[in-house]
Structure 1
Amino acid sequence: MRIGLVVDSACDLPGEYLRRNGFTILPITVHIGDATRVDQRDERETLAFLHSHVAEGGAEAETSPFSVEQITALFLDKLVIDYDYVFCMTITRTRSPIYDNALQASYAILNEYRGVRMAAGHDTPFSLRVIDTQTLFAAQGITAVEAVRLLQAGEGAPKIRARLEHLALHTYGYMIPRDLYYLRARARKKGDRSVGLLSAALGSALDIKPVLRGYRGETAPIGKVKGFDNAVQRLFAHTADRVRRGLMTPTVCLSYGGELEEMRALPGYDDLRVTCQSYNVEMFESVMSLTGMVNVGKGAVVVGFASEPHTFEG
């Protein structure tokens, strides 16, 4: 059975890794004023955007995920021919319509694929499963990496499906933002009132940084730490502690809203890297997606891993 993997462009994994493992990307289009960029997980384009003048208007950006019709066309034109079963893993449905669009598209795809496959010489059924990762950015990478690992181990579609859906319930994404004013402006643009003006003002004045957690579809602050570097160090230390206690997959994913060398210079990074190496945990690092940066601001750090239930002890 030929099994294909699809993620949206908010999934923070290195572009080279995604290409090498044959992922199909559902792109997200970013509109800022008169400028339009299509987020295709190209780190060079993302960094160019970050350093260009249009990045200054990021808080007012509009993002457009693939529509139901575009997803349907992508599958019927290519994926139903190239594969027999496809797993489509999306950012949490509570933060984006991509999951709902893909799910709606799946009904049309499963109704219309037969003629397309017959014309291509395939007389076997086609199946599609849309999976809500229930998290975002670097944490989305956990299910994607596990899917690759299971495919390489020769596992079949039923076992992969059960494993990925179970893993989505245990994947944690933690984020430390740099600029609370930007985060508040962006939240207001999207109608999200979770970051109030007073919180942003106090946070900036006192240099208090929130620790945000994405877990089972909910994104909320679960801690406050004084100073960005100190907050990141505590997050890295928390992650290293979970590695030592035992993760559900041998994977930690990191993403950063800027040059990766800046992230690698942050306190606690080296300790986390060494801990992962010592426990045979693979650590993936990527520049945050263009979609991620316009939503949370440049310089944010995100860490994702799968673990049994726990609390942040930073």
Structure 2
Amino acid sequence: MRIGIVVDSACDLPLAWLEANDVRLLPVTVRIGGAELADHRDEQATLDFVNAHVVERGHTAETSAFPAERIKDLFLDQLVIDYDYVFCLTVTRSRSQIHDNATAASFAILNEYRPIRARAGHNTPFALRVIDSQQVFAGQGILPVEAVRLRDAGAAAPDIRSRLELLAGHSYAYMVPRDLGYLRARTKHRGDRSVGLLAATIGGALDIKPILHCHRGDTGPVAKLRGFEPAIEKLFGFATRRVEAGLLTPTLCLSYGGELEAMRWLPGYEALIAACKAHNIEVFETVMSLTGMVNVGVGSLTIGFAAEAHAFS
């Protein structure tokens, strides 16, 4: 059986890895004033757009999820011919319309694919499963990596589906935003009350940085520290201990809202990478998606992994 994998561009995985493993992309479009860019996970294009538009006006950006009609067209034009079963792995539905759009498209796809496949010489059924990763940023990268690993190992589609749905409930993302004032402006523009005005004001005055957490689609702070680098060091140290305690997949994802070389100089990074190497954990590093940067700000860092239930400490 030919198994395909589709993700949206909010998923923080390197473009080179996506292309090498034939993982298809649903791009998210970002508009700031008269400027517009469809995010195809091109790191240089993302950084150029960020430097030109996001730093000063990013909090006013409008993002457009890949619409249901275009998802349907992508599947009927290509994917129902190229594959027999496709997993569409989306950013958490609590933060984006992509999951609902893909679900709506799936009904039309499954109703219309038969004559298209027949003309291509395929008379077997086509199947599609849309899975909510329940994650954001680097946390969203865990499921596609595991899906590719299982597909390449010859796992059957029902077994892959069961594993991905299990991992969605055990995936974690942690983030340190660099500029809490930007994050407050962005959430206010979106009508999101996730970061209170008082917290943003105090945070800016005292240089307090929260460590934020996403699990099963829910987000919130788990710690607050004075200074960006101390918060990063705390987060890297925590991730190192989780790696040493054992992860549910041999995967850890890192994304950074800027040049990756700047991330690699942050305190605690080298110890985390060393722990991953010692425990055979593959590390995926990438520039944060354009969608991510306009929502949480330039210079923010996120970590994603799958693990048993735990408390941040």
Q: The TM-score by the shorter chain falls in which range?
A: over 0.9
- Aligned mates of 1:176, 1:85 — CA distance in 2: 37
Once residues 68 and 52 of structure 1 are traced to their aligned partners in structure 2, the CA distance between those partners, rounded to angstroms, is 30
**Residue 42 of structure 1: CA displacement?**
0.5
Contact 2:136 2:214 (C-alpha < 8 Å) held by counterparts: yes
For residue 261 of structure 1, what is the aligned residue in structure 2? 261
* Equivalent pair of 1:184/1:195 in contact (CA under 8 Å): yes
* Displacement of 1:188: 1.0
Give the distance between the partners of 1:54 and 1:209, measured in 2 at CA: 21
Unaligned runs of 5+ in 2: none
Q: What's 1:6 paired with?
A: 6
Identify the residue that residue 193 of structure 1 maps to in structure 2. Answer: 193
> d(CA) in 1 for partners of 2:199 and 2:70?
39
Q: Which amino acid aligns with 2:119?
A: A
User: Structure 1 pair 139/203, CA: closer, same or farther in 2 (3 Å)?
Assistant: same
Alpha-carbon deviation of 1:252?
0.4
CA distance in 2, matches of 1:140, 1:309: 17
Partner residue in 1 for 2:274? 274
Indicate if the aligned counterparts of 1:49 and 1:55 stay in contact, CA closer than 8 A.
no
Q: After the TM superposition, which of the residue ranges 10-19 and 52-61 deviates more from structure 2? A: 52-61
Give me the whole-angstrom Cα distance separating, in 2, the residues matched to 1:133 and 1:111. Answer: 25
The amino acid that maps onto 1:226 is: R
CA contact (8 A) 1:35 1:54 kept: no
1:311 equivalent to 2:303? Answer: no
Change (3 A) 1:45 1:221: same
RMSD over aligned CA atoms reads 0.7
* Letter aligned with residue 139 of structure 1: G
- Alpha-carbon deviations, 1:207-236, whole Å to 9, x = none? 111111010010111111111100011101
Q: How does 1:81-230 map to 2 (within 5 A)?
A: 81-230=81-230
Tell me how far 1:69 sits from its aligned partner.
0.6
Partner of 1:300: 300
TM normalised by structure 2 equals 0.99
Shift >6 Å, 4+ stretches: none
Is the contact made by 1:14 and 1:284 (CA closer than 8 Å) also made in structure 2? yes
Where in structure 1 are there 5+ consecutive unaligned residues?
none
Q: Secondary structure at the match of 1:214?
A: strand
Specify the SS of the correspondent of 2:285.
Answer: strand
Cα distance change on mapping 1:68 and 1:253 into 2, 3 Å = same
Counterpart CA distance in 2 for 1:99 and 1:166 is 18
* TM-aligned CA deviation for residue 53 of structure 1: 4.1
Query: Which residue is 2:72 aligned to?
Result: 72
2: distance between equivalents of 1:54 and 1:16? 24
Does the CA contact (< 8 Å) of 2:240 and 2:272 recur in 1? yes
Corresponding residue for residue 246 of structure 1: 246
Which residue is 1:287 aligned to? 287
Matched, 1:21 2:21: yes
Q: Number of residues paired by the alignment? A: 313
Q: Is the 8 A contact 1:141 1:304 kept in 2?
A: yes
Partner secondary structure for residue 52 of structure 1? helix
Verify the 8 A CA contact 1:76 1:109 in the aligned structure 2. yes
3-state SS of paired residue (1:309): coil
Measured in 1, the distance between the counterparts of 2:212 and 2:111 equals 41
Partner of 1:52: 52
* Greater shift in the superposed pair: 27-36 or 190-199: 190-199
Report the CA distance between 1:55 and its aligned residue.
Answer: 3.8
Structure-2 separation of matches of 1:169 and 1:206: 35
* Superimposed CA distance per residue, residues 255-313 of structure 1 (whole angstroms, 9 cap, x where no aligned partner): 00000000000000000000000000011100001110001000000000000000110
Percent of matched pairs sharing the same residue: 62
Give the distance between the partners of 2:225 and 2:312, measured in 1 at CA: 12
Distance in 2, matches of 1:306 and 1:233, equals 20
